[in-house]
Amino acid sequence: MGLLEQITGPARLRTLTIAQTEQLAEEIREFLVQAVSRTGGHLGPNLGVVELTIAMHRVFSSPTDTFVFDTGHQSYVHKLLTGRQDFSRLRRHDGLSGYPSRAESEHDVVENSHASTALSWADGIAKANALKGALDRHVVAVIGDGALTGGMAWEAINNIADSTDERLVIVVNDNGRSYAPTIGGLAHHLDTLRTTRGYEQVLSWGKRTLKRSGLPGRVTYDALHGLKKGIKDVVAPQGMFEDLGLKYIGPVDGHDIAALERSLSAARAFGGPVLVHVMTEKGRGYSPAEQDVADRFHAVGQIHPETGLPVAPSRFGWTSVFADEIVAIGRRRPDVVAITAAMLNPVGLAPFQAEFPHRTFDVGIAEQHAVTSAAGMAFAGMHPVVAVYATFLNRAFDQVLMDVALHRAGVTFVLDRAGITGDDGASHNGMWDLAMLRIVPGLRLAAPRDEATLRSALRAAVDVDDAPTVVRYPKGSVGPDLAAIDELDGVDVLARHEPGDGELRRVLVVGIGSMAGTGLGLGEKLAALGLGCTVVSPTWVLPLPSALVKSAGEHDLVVTIEDGLADGGVGALVRERAAEAGVRTPVHTVGLPTAFLPHASREQVVEGNRLTVPDITADVLRILGI
């Protein structure tokens, strides 16, 4: 039996020798490569924090001491060390979550996998501990250098530094990367910390030099004082943290367990907020990841563990279509610029950056800044295209509303992974955007159904210079083009089925975006049952096309199908506008519930929430009394 199988909880871990912990680290790396290659998941981040997580659990006592991971995708090692070693269904229905989960373990606290939040969580927990007199409890927040580019993290640091009685340890996991190389002033500062000779080393050299100089004692004292002051910000730029009031320890080798334990023990004993700067290597110990400059191993699908190559090559996806079209637009439009928040490769902006490096801006994990900066660029004559995952636009809603829309700024938002994403769970499903953005005055939103409509929607969006525009599309591969057979005032008609003999009832099916194919399937099923049916798919759904309301009045039932919230979504808007126009046709809205959906495959989410053709057909027949 290996050491890993013997670790049923952190207490057993603390009985090991340093040599045994090093052996355990190797076993964990081998386990992660083999397990994640079968299921997919976040491989690189977890390989980088093996020794760090071991040291944390040996120095601190979870769950009495609280661990908070930012963003949580590096918690696989933590799961293993707290007794969760069945990774066979990782990120699958009824299996382990890819992020911390309170339902799984008392050792998990924060489930939200959006970045830059851990320090605020930790500050709140530490403040509560202090108020209750629980001074024997520590809070340990692990935050990457990438997440430190988010403004929320610095809001937290500003407050933490002013709370001298908090038993709080901030571990900066510095690997120089988030989804991609960390950018900005903070990254340059941490680079300096990594490469500059330590303060104590330089000070020791100065002391020896002064001692050999033979200068009088008072002169030597004054010279030494001046030396300390002079070198502090030159060779010890950790002064940035210490000047804020945070005790700084580091940089520490993040793959040396003994050194990590010494540093974390010193932080634990300090009695106030401490920042421990740990240098790690993302993908450590796995050659394909160590040699990968594009960070393909941050998150992987199923791969061959020996080579790191995908088991099944990815099909041409929505992101690739966007990547190709935005470059074509950039060639025609020198005023078009691209902005993203630490996701240049995942959202498909790498080709644009390669061709237009000076027109591409990666702002780090700072969605709020990205949106307001875009408003400023629009005012100054550019047309910004802000590309993020749909779930992350939630973080910048105020900026969309008050900085872009209020000022009628021509900014285009491209929302990747809109709708159901599934495997990453509640915080990554891009299901909130339609309901959230429909209340923004003047905003125009497109939900393309295929490659052709995505390309045309993107071209139309960047032509709007007096209002925000949004183009949303799902995760995964693009299906075949769904050609329109007709067009009604901007609404594409995909199919018409006349009613059967003796049947006078007609159903209007509205398939929104990626659910257009489901709409076509529903239309065929209803037609086979003798019902008349019109299937439409409006590419631009906000503001709602008036043709939808008019067409609703010509049918006996309207069925809307979307992969966003049913409450407050596009279907609900159809019902509202129809009622305002005096149209009495009932509207059946099919979409997702207002709930946090557990991790599962897209197909399981669709089936579990009755978004399948058979389920919707049954609902239609029930409503019509058939």
3-state secondary structure 307-326: CCCECCCCCCEHHHHHHHHH
Is 294 assigned to a binding site?
A: no
Q: Are 189 and 240 in contact (CB under 8 A)?
A: yes
Which is catalytic among the residues 29, 58, 79, 395? Answer: 395
The neighbour count for residue 328, using CB atoms within 10 Å, is 12
Residue 209's Cβ-count burial label (10 Å; 0-12, 13-18, 19+) is: exposed
Is 145 assigned to a binding site?
A: yes
Please, which residues have CB within 8 angstroms of residue 159's CB and are 6 or more apart in sequence?
123
Phi, psi of 615 (to 5 degrees): -65, -45
Taking the C-alpha atoms of 293, 299, 301 and 303 in order, what is their torsion angle to the nearest 10 degrees? Answer: 50
> What are the C-alpha distances in Å from 117 to residues 32, 75, 169, 596?
26, 15, 15, 19
Residue with tokens 């809070």: 139
Distance of CA 102 to the CA centre of its chain: 19
Is 113 assigned to a binding site?
A: yes
Annotated catalytic, 282? yes
Q: What's the one-letter identity of residue 221?
A: Y
**Whole-number Å distance between alpha carbons of 439 and 94:** 36
| Pairing, β 491-497 against β 532-537 | antiparallel
Residue 98's Cβ-count burial label (10 Å; 0-12, 13-18, 19+) is: buried
Tokens read off for 17: 């020798």
∠ CA 160-166-167, nearest 5°, is 120
Q: What's the farthest any 2 CA atoms get from each other in the chain? A: 114
Is 163 assigned to a binding site?
A: no
**Whole-number Å distance between alpha carbons of 330 and 324:** 10
Is 286 assigned to a binding site?
A: yes
Strand extents, DSSP E, 265-411:
274-279, 336-340, 360-362, 383-389
Is 57 assigned to a binding site?
A: no
Q: What's the one-letter identity of residue 145?
A: D
Is 146 assigned to a binding site?
A: yes
Phi, psi of 401 (to 5 degrees): -75, -55
Annotated catalytic, 367? yes
**Whole-number Å distance between alpha carbons of 166 and 274:** 9
| Pairing, β 486-488 against β 506-511 | unpaired
Please, which residues have CB within 8 angstroms of residue 313's CB and are 6 or more apart in sequence?
none
Which is catalytic among the residues 92, 282, 438, 455? Answer: 282
On the CB side of 395, CA atoms within 13 Å amount to 24
Q: Are 240 and 136 in contact (CB under 8 A)?
A: no
Please, which residues have CB within 8 angstroms of residue 220's CB and are 6 or more apart in sequence?
210, 211, 213
**Whole-number Å distance between alpha carbons of 462 and 483:** 23
Which is catalytic among the residues 325, 367, 451, 562? Answer: 367
Is 287 assigned to a binding site?
A: no
Closest CA to 440 of 410, 412, 406: 406
Is 73 assigned to a binding site?
A: yes
Q: Are 565 and 596 in contact (CB under 8 A)?
A: no
Is 495 assigned to a binding site?
A: no
Q: Which residues are catalytic?
A: 282, 367, 395
Binding-site annotation, residues for Mg(2+): 145, 175
Binding-site annotation, residues for thiamine diphosphate: 73, 113-115, 146-147, 175, 286, 367
Binding-site annotation, residues: 73, 113-115, 145-147, 175, 286, 367
